């Protein structure tokens, strides 16, 4: 009888497994509530420092977490003022960097206006690593995310953050359908929604702003994977104007010259607290989103494919002549594909066979604009083989793509090299190289989403803090060159295919932040 019962149970379990409904696993959009904590000018007696305190406390009380982007100078001001209570309240959430010096000149863009690649990365690493270190020391928590402050952007900054294993929020760089991308070897987050920070202190302003947000949130989360819900500058919840008007148009006042912003009456903060609590309760009530911090989001997107197979490279190489341009795949940037093809062709020249699998290299793009026109009308197999060897050596020595390599016929640009390596790789995979290859012009860099990216960067130039006449052409050019590194960041999932669940489990939900 016991054996029969056990047999029946096993049969029942098998039937349930076979008849279980299979539903696609669709992770919820992630919403990160963010703040930019900046004002170190307004006198301590005005109570501006108390605002991030009660923002953090209300969120903790309502079961909502968030990310406080803090300017290094503001953090040091809180430390000097002895505001351990404010520091501790924010540290219970996530603390990110909002630049080391904020609006103090030179700003990031001003410092990078005429900088080259290597010296720009070095300057940004020195400047921002000091700010990250101060924030980690003051708040006692790791700091691994840097939020853009106004127009403070430069590709060298992003690359410096990548070297420090930090990510960049508020990036101008994205791909169609992807608001989380890899660029300059750092994770970049670009989707933002700004709640009306000037409305909290008055119900007649808050109600329409709140209703507008509720109307727009579903569409926003349908079209984005990770949304930064910018809940405001704590100072601006009370101040009528931005504190950093002191630094507009390149001004660099001394502390004695600072002018504090005009403030709403202190009693309006009672209303502001109530309205902010309403916003947080509404977010907490939504079951179609997941409230997160960048500290919990980044591990979901940080995994890259660390190997590159022969079939994957062949697909990329075969697509190049059809597309006629440089573009990323779901898993590999053009720079990674370039490195894989150069290494494979060089290996074929040594051993007579293409490697079945390679370790993925993550090189940066060139640091000078490659020529589009080829140096010669044709290239022999032997010339392409030698160029692959040169490229492989350059990649290992410099960690980036060469802008060009020299052949007997002249300079061959990185885009041309990519196209020729693609053609040769297809031939090698199918049998043997052709004796000679035609050499048409080819793009110097990938152009996917270029217009939108450049428009955003040029908009940063007009940030009122910047000095008049700022030239961003060098920053734009270096950004274009690093589009070689651009690819989607893939969200970590247990499976890409559907997963079996029982009928009883269909109504259950599971957080995408749980380990799977």
Mean per-residue pLDDT for 9-31? Answer: 55
Alpha-carbon gap, residue 108 to 131, rounded angstroms:
13
> What's the pLDDT at 351?
94
Mean per-residue pLDDT for 312-339? Answer: 94
- pLDDT, one tens digit per residue, over 141-155 is 999 999 999 999 999
Alpha-carbon gap, residue 254 to 252, rounded angstroms:
7
**Of residues 160, 141, 238, 161, the one with CA closest to residue 197:** 238
pLDDT band at 378 (very low <50, low <70, confident <90, very high): confident
The DSSP 8-state label assigned to residue 514 in this structure reads S
Alpha-carbon gap, residue 392 to 413, rounded angstroms:
15
> What's the pLDDT at 25?
52
Q: With a cut of 70, say whether residue 6 has pLDDT above it.
A: no
Alpha-carbon gap, residue 172 to 148, rounded angstroms:
10
What is the DSSP annotation of 305-325? --EEEHHHHHHHHHHHHHH-S
Poorest-pLDDT segment among 39-48, 106-115, 283-292, 489-498 = 489-498
Alpha-carbon gap, residue 149 to 126, rounded angstroms:
18
Q: With a cut of 90, say whether residue 287 has pLDDT above it.
A: yes
> What's the pLDDT at 439?
76
Mean per-residue pLDDT for 23-48? Answer: 88
> What distance, in Å, lies between the first and last C-alpha atoms of the chain?
38
Q: With a cut of 70, say whether residue 9 has pLDDT above it.
A: no
For the chain, give me the number of helices (H) and strands (E)? 17, 19
> What's the pLDDT at 118?
97
Token pair belonging to 185: 């070897």
The C-alpha angle with vertex 439 and arms to 434 and 444, in degrees rounded to 5, equals 130
Mean per-residue pLDDT for 116-121? Answer: 98
The DSSP 8-state label assigned to residue 48 in this structure reads T
- pLDDT, one tens digit per residue, over 330-375 is 999 999 999 999 999 999 999 999 999 999 999 999 999 999 887 7
Token pair belonging to 262: 């005009």
Inter-residue contact 487 to 184 (CB < 8 Å):
no
> What's the pLDDT at 441?
85
Q: With a cut of 60, say whether residue 413 has pLDDT above it.
A: yes
Higher pLDDT residue, 174 or 506? 174
- pLDDT, one tens digit per residue, over 188-199 is 999 999 999 999
- pLDDT, one tens digit per residue, over 159-212 is 999 999 999 999 999 999 999 999 999 999 999 999 999 999 999 999 999 999
Alpha-carbon gap, residue 344 to 313, rounded angstroms:
9
Task: Quote the percentage of the chain above a pLDDT of 70.
Answer: 91
Higher pLDDT residue, 12 or 373? 373
pLDDT band at 26 (very low <50, low <70, confident <90, very high): low
> What's the pLDDT at 501?
34
- pLDDT, one tens digit per residue, over 416-465 is 999 999 999 999 999 889 999 887 888 999 999 999 999 999 999 999 99
As a three-state string, the secondary structure of 363-430 is CECCCCCCCCCCCCCEEEHHHHHHHHHHHHHHHHHHCECCCEEEECCEEEEHHHHHHHHHHHHHHHHH
Higher pLDDT residue, 350 or 3? 350
> What's the pLDDT at 407?
77
> What's the pLDDT at 144?
96
Longest dimension (CA), the chain: 92
> What's the pLDDT at 1?
42
Arithmetic mean of pLDDT over the chain: 90
> What's the pLDDT at 247?
97
Alpha-carbon gap, residue 79 to 283, rounded angstroms:
32
Q: What is the gyration radius of the CA atoms in the chain, in angstroms?
A: 27
Token pair belonging to 447: 């152009």
Mean per-residue pLDDT for 476-499? Answer: 82
Q: Model's pTM, two decimal places?
A: 0.89
């Amino acid at each position: 009888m016991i054996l029969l019962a056990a047999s029946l149970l096993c049969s029942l379990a098998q039937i349930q497994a076979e008849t279980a409904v299979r539903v696609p696993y669709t992770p919820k959009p992630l919403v990160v509530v963010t703040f930019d904590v900046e004002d170190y000018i307004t006198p301590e007696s005005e109570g501006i420092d108390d605002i991030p305190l009660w923002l953090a406390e209300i969120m903790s009380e309502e079961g909502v977490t968030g990310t406080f982007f803090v300017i290094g100078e503001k953090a040091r001001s809180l430390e000097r003022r002895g505001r351990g209570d404010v520091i501790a309240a924010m540290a219970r959430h996530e603390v990110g960097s909002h630049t080391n010096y904020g609006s103090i000149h030179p700003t990031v863009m001003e410092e990078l206006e005429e900088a080259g690649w290597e010296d720009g990365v070095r300057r940004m690493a020195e400047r921002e690593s000091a700010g990250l270190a101060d924030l980690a020391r003051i708040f006692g928590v790791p700091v691994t995310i840097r939020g853009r402050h106004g127009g403070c952007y430069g590709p060298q900054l992003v690359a410096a953050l990548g070297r420090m294993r930090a990510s960049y929020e508020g990036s101008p760089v994205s791909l169609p359908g992807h608001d989380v991308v890899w660029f300059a070897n750092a994770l970049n987050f670009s989707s933002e929604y700004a709640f009306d920070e000037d409305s909290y202190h008055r119900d007649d302003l808050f109600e329409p702003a709140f209703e507008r947000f509720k109307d727009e949130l579903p569409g926003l989360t349908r079209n984005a994977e990770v949304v930064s819900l910018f809940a405001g500058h704590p100072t601006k919840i009370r101040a009528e104007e931005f504190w950093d008007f002191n630094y507009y148009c390149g001004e660099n006042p001394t502390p004695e010259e600072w002018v504090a912003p005009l403030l709403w009456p202190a009693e309006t903060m009672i209303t502001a607290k109530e309205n902010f609590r309403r916003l947080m309760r509404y977010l907490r009530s939504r079951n179609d989103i997941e409230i997160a911090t960048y500290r919990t989001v980044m591990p979901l997107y940080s995994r890259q494919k660390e190997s590159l197979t022969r079939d994957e490279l062949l697909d990329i190489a075969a697509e190049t002549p059809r597309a006629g341009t440089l573009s990323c795949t779901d898993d590999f940037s053009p720079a990674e594909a370039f490195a894989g093809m150069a290494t494979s062709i060089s290996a074929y020249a040594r051993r007579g066979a293409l490697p079945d699998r390679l370790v993925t290299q993550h090189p940066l793009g060139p640091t000078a604009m490659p020529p589009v026109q080829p140096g010669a009308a044709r290239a022999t197999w032997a010339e392409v083989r030698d160029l692959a060897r040169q490229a492989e050596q350059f990649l290992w020595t410099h960690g980036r793509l060469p802008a060009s390599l020299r052949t007997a016929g002249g300079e061959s640009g990185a885009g041309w090299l990519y196209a020729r390596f693609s053609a040769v790789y297809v031939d090698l995979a199918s049998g043997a190289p052709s004796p000679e290859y035609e050499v048409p012009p080819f793009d110097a860099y990938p152009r996917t989403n270029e217009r939108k990216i450049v428009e955003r960067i040029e908009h940063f130039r007009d940030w009122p803090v910047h000095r008049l006449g700022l030239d961003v052409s060098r920053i734009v050019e270096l950004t274009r060159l690093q589009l070689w590194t651009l690819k989607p960041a893939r969200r970590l999932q247990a499976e890409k295919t559907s997963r079996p669940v029982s009928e009883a489990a269909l109504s259950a939900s599971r957080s995408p932040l749980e380990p799977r």
